[in-house]
A and B are shown apart, each in its own frame.
Chain A
Amino acid sequence: MQNVLTYLSIVLTAFFMQVEAQTTSTEVSKPTKYQQGMQKAFKLWQEDKSWEAANLFERIATAETDKWLPPYYVAQINIINSFTEKDAAKLKAQLDKAQNFINDATAISKGNPELLVLQAQLYTAWIVFDGQQYGMTYSPKAAALYNQALAIAPENPRIILAKAEWDIGSAKYFNQTIDTYCKDLQRAIELFANFKPEGEFYPTYGEKRAKQIVAESCK
């Protein structure tokens, strides 16, 4: 069974996002300290200095205790980087750190579907790390989180994408049809076209990935 999960999760790793530019500021007026900090962090990230970006997000998180986005990005960078980390002890420490920041963000913004998806991705990272040990416990948890997120935000294309990708992985393993999930992906792509993030610096990734899977898997 663990192999099913490993398969699933390896597919999922690819999903971890192409960082998409977060440069446009909606406000014309002089950017606030928060906006400047966030923009600088995204810039570092795009320059491939993800740890420095994570450190800056962490600093912003400690200064702005009522904003969920800085801890969200700290957790996300730790999760993404864990997929390439070879040292088991360091990897576990990173995932623990990510969990702490997800907890912080969740305390600020309860029932946030983006955070639920991130939590599911954190579980996926544990499964990829050791499917045998964590697969059984975490894969139903991840699946439940996708369902929960989708129930809250049925029109959020990123959540439709994340859930569809998770489902496609296991359907393929059992040679089951993936038509319904392909339809979900098509719908996600349509929704991405008109997707407006709820606020500044909100996550926007996913469109490219959705198109990529449709091209690869849905014929």
Chain B
Amino acid sequence: MKVSVVFFLIILFPFSFFAQSKISGIVTDKKGVPIFGANVYLTGTYDGTTSDQNGNFTFETTETGVQTLTVSYVSFETFTMIDDVLKLKNLKVVLRDDVNSLETVTISAGSFSAGDNSKISVLKPMDIVTTASAVGDFVGALQTLPGTTTVAEDGRLFVRGGDAGETQIFIDGIRVFTPYSPTTNNIPTRGRYSPFLFDGITFSTGGYSAEYGQALSSVLLLNTIDEPVQEKTNIAIMSVGGGVGHTEKWDNSSLSLNTSYVNLAPYIAVLPDRNTWEKPFETASGEAVFRQKIGDGLLKVYGAFDSSNFELTQEDINLAEGLYFKLNNKNFYTNASYSEKLNKGWSIFGGGSYTYANTKVNIDKAHIKDVENSAHLKLKLNKRFSNYFKLNFGVEQFLTDFDEKYNASDFSANIRFKNNLSAFFTEADIIFSRKLALKLGARGEYSELFKEVTVSPRVSFAFKTGKNSQLSLAYGDFFQQPDNEILKFTTDVEAQHTQHYILNYQYAANNRIFRAELFRKQYNKLVTYNETIPDVNSLFNNTGNGYAQGLDVFWRDNESIKNVDYWVSYSYLDTERKYKDYPIKATPNFANTHNLSVVAKYWIDDWKSQIGFSYQYGSGRTYTDLNSPGFLQKKTRDYNSVSLNWAYLLSQQKILYFSINNAFAFKNVNGYQYANTPDANGNFARRKLLPAADQFFFVGFFWTISEDGKNNQLDNL
């Protein structure tokens, strides 16, 4: 075909074969502004030129016939046209903005990303661990972001009036069933996983993608490192234990191992707290990530095992001798995923996870043993039709087998249930221009246990309002099954439901980010029951409901003050709900009205030190005062805490680290416990629920051994 066209042209224009043709025209952007410096050429030849200051170009070529003219310029889409060289005269070439470039609008409603190179990230990977109040816990660092509530005695994430169970955690897109170490009253837990193995964290406080389900309020997405940079060994010696990590690299694969041992016994011996510890908290954990490149694909296998135990007697107003509690937990989590870019814009992702959790608890004289086996399987396909349209779809299967054995002197029981859930999701990303983008998705789920189908539409939309600012809107329906604590007593319930409405404004320029987000969350079909502590004989219903609404504000500035990086988060929250055994609609005790965090980091060059500061404020949380009428009608005093840390670089690879939580020893009260029965005057006695200790001190020494002698663990602190 091509040959015959060329032949035809040669016959028609025999002389042009030897003559030089002149190609000319002008290059502008959409608004008609000339583009200077664009590369204009015939593809596959050396003939071409660079457009001048007025956007004009002229060049000669000895090529003939049909050719491809290409015009390219940085941050614009490359333009091509196919025509006879003789017709390539006085052309008007208009270049379109490249929507892949950084100035393109991104959907930001509801989500904070950390460490993504190409997008605006609110937190950088190292922030997860250099935040003074976090003491190396990534969940602790996220608690300095707006949308979270300070629930100091718990340690888990409470998002926008939701309880901790409403946030789901995913590693490489695969669900983590038991993300936190179990603990007891008034002893905060920590995230199980070390921040050391992750390089991307996205924290979404609402309106998230249809890919993620079974979360009413929030998702936290953690991605393991694809390819470690170099081989190295990390050694940590800490006042509460120690850790060793090692990374080994081969041609197409690598392995990272991380182990740690924490024992609070020596610390508590020196600085006793308010509990009587028979056996202070002790945990041993190990994690490993193995990565193997297979052709264009990448296989990742992640495994984590931890074992923790403690034994204590806590003060209790109803028990003169205190409440005895002993815990033994073994948890194993593994996750494998494979991703590959296929031809023609397709890519595939497949993965699965398996969790085994074995918890033995002794409370007073009762003995409870829970065994949970859970798995999640996922297959996802992605098709990129063009820079303007992408489609994502997949299927998922969740499997849970829960078994509990309860033994007390007067009663024993064995409860077991299986909970299987299938899901399908699809989502389209449509970019209309650099200024306008839309994400449309839907998720369908089928629960085998409830014989119930749910459908959740999700929509988000972003519009650029200026060079550095944008508005995003999001709406979504979210379903989540009641947790194991309910399902072990009844399966005659339905999924709980929320709807999110989000309006987000974001301004980002010159290392400063401002975000403000208005939200409304409607709760429906929350599980209710008729007894304070439910059991198999309780009546369960899905008649609960509630709402949460408010404003989240975030400001980060890395520019104004030299060597200082700081951020401020403020959240206003108004929420009420009727669920569990609530007699009326009320603000739950894990929600409060005002939350403020200020985090600052100051680099002192002469001292080779980074000083960190973090202030957390939370207005009072509700509690029920039994001596006056009402339910959750009173509020505790406000929460305040200032934490400080200091990282000192002894040399390139040795770091000394100190931190102190609640440096000014504010006396915080988490709530009150009331006596079960009134005294002679008809008064219910009460005691304050105080933190186990007002302050926490930490000293650590971190040493990295690597080939190049440069790497250190500052980013792991």
Question: Nearest chain-B residue to A41 (Cβ)?
Answer: B46
The answer to whether residues A62 and B70 also contact, given A1-B603, A3-B563, A170-B652 and a CB cut-off of 8 A, is yes
Q: Is B544 an interface residue (CB 8 A)?
A: no
Q: Is A143 an interface residue (CB 8 A)?
A: yes
A55→B75 contact, CB < 8 A = no
Q: Which residues of B contact A54 (CB under 8 A)?
A: 39
> Of A59, A97, A146, which contacts B41 at CB under 8 A?
A59
**Chain A binder among B185-193, B627-635, B657-665, B705-713:** B705-713
> Of B39, B117, B126, B710, which contacts A139 at CB under 8 A?
B710
Q: How many of A's residues come within 8 Å of B, CB to CB?
A: 40
B46→A93 contact, CB < 8 A = no
B70→A140 contact, CB < 8 A = no
Q: Which residues of B contact A52 (CB under 8 A)?
A: 50
The answer to whether residues A93 and B75 also contact, given A140-B229, A170-B652 and a CB cut-off of 8 A, is yes
Q: Which residues of B contact A9 (CB under 8 A)?
A: none
> Of B44, B75, B230, B558, which contacts A140 at CB under 8 A?
B230
> Of B50, B511, B610, which contacts A55 at CB under 8 A?
B50
C-alpha gap A132/B101 in the complex (Å):
21
Q: Which residues of A contact B230 (CB under 8 A)?
A: 140, 143-144, 147
C-alpha gap A37/B46 in the complex (Å):
7
Q: Is B530 an interface residue (CB 8 A)?
A: no
B102→A92 contact, CB < 8 A = yes
Question: Nearest chain-A residue to B72 (Cβ)?
Answer: A58
Q: Which residues of A contact B49 (CB under 8 A)?
A: 55
Q: Which residues of B contact A133 (CB under 8 A)?
A: 124
The answer to whether residues A136 and B46 also contact, given A55-B39, A141-B229, A143-B710 and a CB cut-off of 8 A, is no
- Interface set, chain A 166-190, CB cutoff 8 A to B: 170, 174, 176
Q: How far is the CB of B651 from chain A (nearest CB, A)?
A: 6
C-alpha gap A96/B649 in the complex (Å):
33
Q: Which residues of B contact A140 (CB under 8 A)?
A: 229-230, 706, 708, 710-711
Question: Nearest chain-A residue to B46 (Cβ)?
Answer: A37
Q: How far is the CB of B229 from chain A (nearest CB, A)?
A: 5
Q: How far is the CB of B249 from chain A (nearest CB, A)?
A: 9
A3→B605 contact, CB < 8 A = yes
Q: How far is the CB of B327 from chain A (nearest CB, A)?
A: 37
Q: Is B206 an interface residue (CB 8 A)?
A: no
> Of A3, A62, A137, A144, which contacts B603 at CB under 8 A?
A3
Q: Which residues of B contact A130 (CB under 8 A)?
A: 511
B41→A143 contact, CB < 8 A = no
- Interface set, chain A 141-156, CB cutoff 8 A to B: 141, 143-144, 146-147
A90→B710 contact, CB < 8 A = no
Q: Is B715 an interface residue (CB 8 A)?
A: yes
C-alpha gap A174/B654 in the complex (Å):
12
Question: Could you tell me which A residues sit within 8 Å of B by CB distance?
Answer: 1-3, 33, 36-37, 51-52, 54-56, 58-60, 62-63, 88-90, 92-94, 96-97, 130, 132-134, 136-137, 139-141, 143-144, 146-147, 170, 174, 176
Instruction: Jot down 7 A-B pairs with beta carbons below 8 A, ordered by A.
Output: A62-B70, A93-B102, A132-B558, A137-B115, A137-B199, A140-B710, A147-B230
Question: Could you tell me which B residues sit within 8 Å of A by CB distance?
Answer: 37, 39, 41, 43-50, 70, 72, 74-75, 98, 101-103, 115, 117, 124-126, 199, 229-230, 510-511, 558, 563, 565, 603, 605, 608, 610, 649, 651-652, 706-708, 710-712, 714-715
Besides A62-B44, A97-B74, A136-B125, 6 new A-B residue pairs in contact (Cβ under 8 A), listed by A number:
A59-B48, A89-B75, A90-B74, A93-B101, A174-B651, A176-B651
